[in-house]
Structure 1
Amino acid sequence: MSKTQKKQREYYSGKQKRHTLKGQIVIDKEERIMCVHTAKGTTHDFRLFQESNLPLMPKTCVYVDLGYLGIAKEHSHCQIPHKASKLHPLSEEQKEENRQKASARICVEHVNAKIKTFQILTQKYRNRRKRFNLRFNLICGLINFDRGFAVEYK
């Protein structure tokens, strides 16, 4: 097996039956993109969070989706939805809590929708993998600039 085949295997997702890349963004309450981290598509969301080494303050409230199960062990002030299963469906109280958490998380989805207008996450990425991080960062910077969060230089 050649070196290129071994490298490609690292990016192959058996679940999606293709080579994939993943991007994670961290935003603040004003919808400003604070941090961008990219990885292989096979990387779990929670592991991506751990590898990004975000300097979170202990009392910072973090809103995440169910892809980040286990974050409560590392960060005490996190808001993660309740998980349902066939054997243990959610109660009405838990469903209402999930709705409230989703309404607080909606600003993240608005930013994700804005990123998807650039087509880097929605279509097949046909360029060099090592340039994906650069382009993803540039797009996030453009979105911040468009929303009026430009950095002022003196």
Structure 2
Amino acid sequence: MSPRQPSDCQEQKKYYSGKQQRHTLKNQFIVLPKAQDIIDVVMGKPGPMSNIKICRQTLSKFDVQQTFSGDKAYIGETQIKTPYKKPKKGELTESQKKENKALSSNRIFVEHLIRVVKVFKVVQERFRLQKSRYKSVLLTVCGLVRLRIGSLILRIIESEKSGEVIDVKMSHSFISKLDFVSLNPD
């Protein structure tokens, strides 16, 4: 996601991502296996900040025994299982290739969930609102995605006499699914 280009030179340097060649804000999702629910969202970090640095700031929220699985951006973090990288001028062993394939087959659900979030153009393209509204917009999109995948349950309470809607109650139950399962940050 790229915000408006800041007018101040020092502010521009803070958000400029050399990799993407533009001013960006980074987001990170931690989801349950099989993309059953979104557990945590880190949003609006400056573009040059690395994924592993964002992750290390986030891991303090979780138990040290909690395991995660991630892509190659998270290599070096002990709590995160990552795919093997091919060594320079070398090849991966057959067992390493099988482990990479198994890891990627579990992570594909995370990539699909990110695609569902990016269906909302406000997340995918340049953010044209004020930067202060970015977090509330992204949280709203995440709520809509959670509603779509069925992890957020809305119960409508109607009046018995008139049939009018009195209240809408929201519930979710991902805590029971969270008992030391392999989570996916991305």
Q: TM-score range by the shorter chain?
A: 0.7 to 0.9
| Structure 1 residues 120 and 82: alpha-carbon distance in aligned structure 2, compared to 1, 3 A threshold | farther
Q: What is the CA-CA distance between 1:121 and the residue it aligns to?
A: 4.0
Within-5 A mapping of 1:1-154? 4-29=8-33, 31-38=36-43, 39-72=45-78, 75=79, 78-150=80-152, 151-152=170-171
* Rg comparison, structure with higher value: 2
SS at match of 2:40: strand
Amino acid at match of 1:14: G
Q: Which residue of 1 aligns with 2:183?
A: none
Q: Contact conserved, 2:36 with 2:151, CA < 8 A, in 1?
A: no
Please report the TM-score for the alignment, with normalisation by the length of structure 2.
0.71
Cα distance between partner residues in 2 of 1:90 and 1:120:
40
Runs of 4+ in 1 over 3 A off after TM superposition: none
Query: Which structure shows the higher strand fraction?
Result: 2
Please report the TM-score for the alignment, with normalisation by the length of structure 1.
0.84
SS at match of 1:52: helix
- Which residues of structure 1 form unaligned runs of 5+? none
Give the fraction of aligned pairs with identical amino acids, expressed as a percent: 29
Q: Greater shift after overlay, 140-149 or 115-124? A: 115-124
Amino acid at match of 1:31: Q
- Which residues of structure 2 form unaligned runs of 5+? 1-6, 153-169, 173-186
Cα distance between partner residues in 2 of 1:6 and 1:55:
31
| Structure 1 residues 63 and 53: alpha-carbon distance in aligned structure 2, compared to 1, 3 A threshold | closer
